[in-house]
A and B are shown apart, each in its own frame.
Chain A
């Protein structure tokens, strides 16, 4: 590992190219159910898998790289190269002052959720494996500064476990798990023991489980339909991080964290400033409802402090660091989404870390991530 700039961004997104799945899935077997770009009557190009439109009908999500940040590309030739070319991405990382970048998908869902909505588990697995193979072949092999994370088929658990084993053997460093699989299709509740093999394999292989905000849009307040697109998108961006509260609540009170004490959970795109209240409230409620007598050996905040991290990109750190703990905050740039701090990444960091000690700053900006991803 080499740190030149002092930043490991733990949440960035790759843009999958048009040929990713068509090159890797059998045309004779899957036909046009394969994820591909489809041209619409209006001349736009949108991603489609098995008849489902992805990426809200856009060709990509690259707002931070667009001349007008409130626009997304609607044809592939509008997608800026740093979104999909590793060599161009590295240049942007240098310009942003970023040493390493932990990668999440875009077409496969910002939280790796898109293929979980497919009703056909075989097609789901084929799409997932193609993405996982491609990320290693095209990005990891281009530079060790890219930290690849696999996506997974959500069910059955044996398939999830097998894909995690296969992907980690290939070089994946984290597991992107859509946090509420039962909201994607008819599968068991994520709190149940049915998923224990999934958490167990992550413990065994020592890879973090990454629960990225936005896996289930119904957890967010739907904006008024009469708003301009820029305002609708802003509302989506603001309500997405806090939807994580429902996820951390499930993982805490259902005892997933207690059953799997070595499971490490990264709450990607969670933001930071609401988290302190959640932790204080969960502890308060735990005590007020008398849950100590119901078989929990740790309070919610103790579970969090043993196993979880919040991920921020715009919050002021100083007010929250003492209660949340410097070891439990990670930093990201969210590149190349509109909410990204690019191109003001360093300026934003400067503002967000006012009044923070050098030691804490190093932990949040790169040391915690280096430890979690074993760099």
Chain B
């Protein structure tokens, strides 16, 4: 890959074409349980939704407000409203050029990345394969796409491990993981999942926790009926600030990072500040409780710097404190084409956030760290060096 612009987004969302799953899953076996776009009635209007396992989901058929224009944010209600830029890999490359972005790491978009909720192990395996194959095709179209695989949680960890190995061969660059496992399954840090962390470590695939990471903490706060939709969105979204502060301590104090010291963990759409807290708080408790006597031999802040990575997009103040976690652990993200994205003016926001930051640090957070974390082979023209 050529670094033309000097900017890699380590958190963007690939949309699926409407036949992404129907063309990859046997209809005689799964029928209308295959994820597909269906027509339903809403407020007297015929609208489209993605249906999974025969059940329509969500309030839209696509999540791409950055491409929808005014009024912002608009979410497509009918399939034909979705710009092809969202789901046709070749079309989307033009959008990347418009925005001055070299490459993007691909997280899910509707119909989403979670298929365990139906309790159907075999279905989950097949749909996860279809998902991973579909995104792998993006990587075949262009090496500017860096897809993340999803996992069939209901399956035996050895089967999940094989899916990870398959995804790596197909071109995936990492794995997207739930921040908290479904209640019926073992805890995220139960050694039950060790084969997965082992596979990711050996294959050099970073694991990713995205946004609120489906943590039950946020869901336990009942939504207040007095909010408008936009107020509810603000009130909920800003609480993702502490997602890393809830997950990082679990990974460290349960010994996952002791057992897998080369496993890389990326916190997407969570902001730098939550990691600053995890550094300080874990060190404090480690010291006052003598946790080295409990098998946690490495000082937590060292573990964080060794294994944890965090993304930023708007944090002026967070960037000022970039040396707390370390300049090698921070990467830029755009969240394209979601509501948080600054597309097509990502560079305006980059310049605003990085004002006064020396060029060595700039290069690291804008693309060099991403090249290293995702093991990307790239040529960098002299002007970007």
Please give the residue numbers on chain A whose beta carbons come within 8 Å of chain B beta carbons, in ascending order.
69-70, 180, 182-183, 189, 191-192, 216, 218-228, 230-231, 233-235, 237-239, 241-243, 245-246, 249-250, 252-254, 271, 273-278, 280-282, 284-286, 288-291, 294, 300, 314-316, 319-320, 323, 338-341
A217 to chain B, nearest CB (A): 9
User: Contact between A278 and B273 (Cβ–Cβ < 8 Å)?
Assistant: yes
Q: Which of B237, B286, B294, B316 contacts A228 (CB 8 A)?
A: B294
Is B28 part of the contact surface with A, judged by Cβ < 8 Å?
Answer: no
- Closest B-chain residue to A189, C-beta based? B224
Residues of B within 8 A of A239 (CB): 245-246, 249
Taking chain A's interface residues, is the majority helix, strand, or loop, or is none over half, making it mixed? helix
Instruction: List 26 A-B residue pairs with CB atoms under 8 Å apart, sorted by A's residue number.
Output: A216-B220, A218-B216, A219-B221, A221-B247, A222-B187, A222-B216, A234-B289, A237-B285, A238-B249, A242-B246, A246-B218, A249-B235, A253-B227, A271-B280, A274-B242, A274-B274, A276-B273, A277-B272, A278-B273, A280-B315, A281-B271, A282-B234, A286-B234, A294-B228, A294-B230, A323-B317
The 6 A-B pairs of least Cβ separation, nearest first, read: A277-B273, A274-B277, A253-B235, A314-B284, A242-B242, A191-B224
How far, in angstroms, from A69 to B249 measured CA to CA in the complex? 19
User: Contact between B187 and A225 (Cβ–Cβ < 8 Å)?
Assistant: yes
Residues of B within 8 A of A189 (CB): 222, 224-225
User: Contact between A235 and B238 (Cβ–Cβ < 8 Å)?
Assistant: no
How far, in angstroms, from A238 to B278 measured CA to CA in the complex? 8
**Chain B, 197-210, contact with A by CB distance < 8 Å: what is the 0/1 string?**
00000000000000
A1 to chain B, nearest CB (A): 30
B217 to chain A, nearest CB (A): 5
Is B253 part of the contact surface with A, judged by Cβ < 8 Å?
Answer: yes
User: Contact between B253 and A235 (Cβ–Cβ < 8 Å)?
Assistant: yes
Residues of A within 8 A of B340 (CB): 288
Is B215 part of the contact surface with A, judged by Cβ < 8 Å?
Answer: yes
A315 to chain B, nearest CB (A): 5
Q: Which of B188, B280, B316, B317 contacts A316 (CB 8 A)?
A: B280
B139 to chain A, nearest CB (A): 31
A150 to chain B, nearest CB (A): 25
- Closest A-chain residue to B223, C-beta based? A189
User: Contact between A221 and B180 (Cβ–Cβ < 8 Å)?
Assistant: yes
User: Contact between B233 and A245 (Cβ–Cβ < 8 Å)?
Assistant: no
- Closest B-chain residue to A233, C-beta based? B289
B182 to chain A, nearest CB (A): 13
Is B2 part of the contact surface with A, judged by Cβ < 8 Å?
Answer: no
User: Contact between A338 and B224 (Cβ–Cβ < 8 Å)?
Assistant: no
Q: Which of B190, B254, B317 contacts A231 (CB 8 A)?
A: B254
Residues of A within 8 A of B324 (CB): 319
Give the interface centre of A69, A222, A274, A320 by most chain B CB atoms within 10 Å: A274
B111 to chain A, nearest CB (A): 25
Residues of A within 8 A of B339 (CB): 288
**Chain B, 244-265, contact with A by CB distance < 8 Å: what is the 0/1 string?**
0111011001100000000000
Known: A221-B180, A226-B191. 10 other contacts (CB 8 A): A219-B221, A234-B286, A239-B245, A242-B274, A245-B238, A246-B221, A249-B238, A276-B317, A289-B234, A314-B281
Is B184 part of the contact surface with A, judged by Cβ < 8 Å?
Answer: no
Is B123 part of the contact surface with A, judged by Cβ < 8 Å?
Answer: no
Is B159 part of the contact surface with A, judged by Cβ < 8 Å?
Answer: no
Is B153 part of the contact surface with A, judged by Cβ < 8 Å?
Answer: no
How far, in angstroms, from A332 to B216 measured CA to CA in the complex? 29
- Closest A-chain residue to B340, C-beta based? A288
User: Contact between A226 and B250 (Cβ–Cβ < 8 Å)?
Assistant: no
How far, in angstroms, from A278 to B242 measured CA to CA in the complex? 8
Residues of A within 8 A of B220 (CB): 183, 216, 218-219
Residues of A within 8 A of B344 (CB): none
Is B22 part of the contact surface with A, judged by Cβ < 8 Å?
Answer: no
B27 to chain A, nearest CB (A): 40
User: Contact between B226 and A192 (Cβ–Cβ < 8 Å)?
Assistant: yes
Residues of B within 8 A of A286 (CB): 234
Q: A225-B187, A227-B253 are in contact. Are A250 and B224 (CB under 8 A)?
A: yes
Is B290 part of the contact surface with A, judged by Cβ < 8 Å?
Answer: yes
A253 to chain B, nearest CB (A): 4
Is B47 part of the contact surface with A, judged by Cβ < 8 Å?
Answer: no
User: Contact between B281 and A238 (Cβ–Cβ < 8 Å)?
Assistant: yes
User: Contact between A338 and B317 (Cβ–Cβ < 8 Å)?
Assistant: no
B341 to chain A, nearest CB (A): 10
How far, in angstroms, from A183 to B286 measured CA to CA in the complex? 30
User: Contact between B294 and A230 (Cβ–Cβ < 8 Å)?
Assistant: yes
A259 to chain B, nearest CB (A): 11
How far, in angstroms, from A234 to B250 measured CA to CA in the complex? 10
How far, in angstroms, from A315 to B131 measured CA to CA in the complex? 43
Give the interface centre of B271, B282, B317 by most chain A CB atoms within 10 Å: B317
User: Contact between A277 and B241 (Cβ–Cβ < 8 Å)?
Assistant: yes
- Closest B-chain residue to A239, C-beta based? B246
User: Contact between A241 and B231 (Cβ–Cβ < 8 Å)?
Assistant: no
User: Contact between A253 and B290 (Cβ–Cβ < 8 Å)?
Assistant: no
A9 to chain B, nearest CB (A): 16
Is B291 part of the contact surface with A, judged by Cβ < 8 Å?
Answer: yes
